[in-house]
Amino acid sequence: MLYRQRSLDTPTGTLETPVLFPVSNIGKRSSDNTPEYADSIPDIRTAMVNARAIRQRDPQWDRIQDGASLRDEMGVPSDTIVFADSGGFDFESGDVDTTPKQSLATQRAIGADIFGTVDVPLSPENRTAENKDRVERSTEYALEASDHHDGDALLFASVHGYTTETVANTLQYLEDNGEFDGYALGSMVPIRTDYEKVTRLILSARRATDKHLHVYGLGGIVYQPLLLYLGVDSFDSTAFIRSAGNRNYLLPGFGGIELHRIDELNHLPCSCPVCATREFDEIRKDRDLLTQHNLWALATELRRFRFMAASETDIEDYLDLRFQGNGVTERAYGIAKQQVRRLK
C-alpha cells in the first residue's frame, strides 16, 4: 500500500496527515448546515472554506476587512488549520470572476493556512477541446499564483485531468516551473462512480510527486479508505452535510443507510456523543444532529484506518474485510490493489 503519515508546518501549527478537512459552508446561504465540531472531535482541527464565497458575502467580508477573525466567524478555535480553495467549483459552468492575485489577497485576508490556486474544473460532458482549455487555464493560474505568492502560507496548485498522462504531465510542468508546497487534484466528483478511472488518476498524481497530495471533494465514508491506501495526504468532504439532508445515516465500516427504511428502533448503533445520549427518533427528526453524527462517522473511519496501520495489521486484509459484501466498493478496492501492486 502507499499509505503514509507526515507532518506539515502551517502558520497556525503542525498538521499531522493523513487528515480530513470538513467543508464549512461559511459564506454560503446554507452556512447553518455545518455543525460545530472542533471542540467535540479533538483530532479534527481543520476546515475547508471557499474564499470566493466569503469575499462575496458583503457583511461578513466587511467585518473581516475591519479586523474580525475568520475563525471567530466560523465559531472554531483559533488553532484550527484552514484550507481556503479558490471557489473553483463555482466556475464549472460560469465565468472566472477573479485573478490569481486577487484570490491570494482574499486567502491572505481571511488568515488561511493553505491556499488553493484558482482553477476551472473540467466539464463532465467529455468535451475534449473545452477541457484541454480548462486544464491549460488552471495551469496558467497556478503559475501566476506562484509568481505572486510570498510564502506566508502553504500554496497548493490545483490540478485537473481526465487522463493519467494529463495529470502526470501537468503536475510535472508545474513542479518544473513554479514553487508549490503541494498539489490538489480536482474534477473527481463528477466521475466519482467510475472508481477505476478515479483510482488511476489519483495514482498518476501520487507517482508524479512526493509532495503533499490533496484530493478535492472525495472524503466521504466509502472513498476515505481508498484514498488512504493510495497515499493521499488530505481530502475534504461535504458528505456529512449532504447525507444528512437526504436522511442518510453514515455508518463507519459500511456506508450510508436511509433512515426511512427503519420503522422501529430505540437507539442507533454508533457510540459517538450524538448517538450515545439520544434515541433514534430524536436524531432522525433533527438534521443538525444527523449532520454531527455523520461527521463523527467520517472521523471514526479515519481513526480506524490509522489504528489498523499503527497496530501493524495487514491493511490489505483489513480492506478485504472492509469492502466485503458491497460489489461496487469491493471491485473498486480490487482495482486499486492491482494497480498498487504493479508499482512494487
| Mean pLDDT value of segment 9-35 | 86
Reference 21, options 276, 127, 10, 171; nearest CA is: 10
Reference 262, options 234, 281, 240; nearest CA is: 281
Burial of 246 (0-12, 13-18, 19+ CB in 10 A): exposed
Low-confidence winner among 117-131, 133-147, 164-178, 199-213 (lowest mean pLDDT): 117-131
pLDDT digits (tens, 9 = 90+) for 304-328: 999 999 999 999 999 999 888 777 7
Task: Round to whole Å and give the CA distance between 271 and 214.
Answer: 30
Element (H, E) at 30: none
pLDDT at 340 over 90: no
Domains of the chain: 6-244 (3.20.20.105), 245-342 (no CATH)
pLDDT at 88 over 80: no
DSSP 215-252: ETT--STTHHHHHHHTT--EEEE-HHHHHHHTTEEEET
Tell me the pLDDT band of 32, cut-offs 50, 70 and 90: low
Per the CB < 8 A criterion, the answer to whether 20 and 44 are in contact is: yes
pLDDT at 29 over 90: no
Angle between helices 327-342 and 315-322 (to 10 degrees): 160
pLDDT at 31 over 60: no
pTM of the complete model:
0.94
Q: Which three cell numbers stand for residue 254?
A: 459500511
Q: Which three cell numbers stand for residue 208?
A: 508524479
Task: Round to whole Å and give the CA distance between 288 and 47.
Answer: 18
The pLDDT value recorded for residue 274 is 94
pLDDT digits (tens, 9 = 90+) for 149-190: 998 899 999 999 999 999 999 999 999 999 999 999 999 998
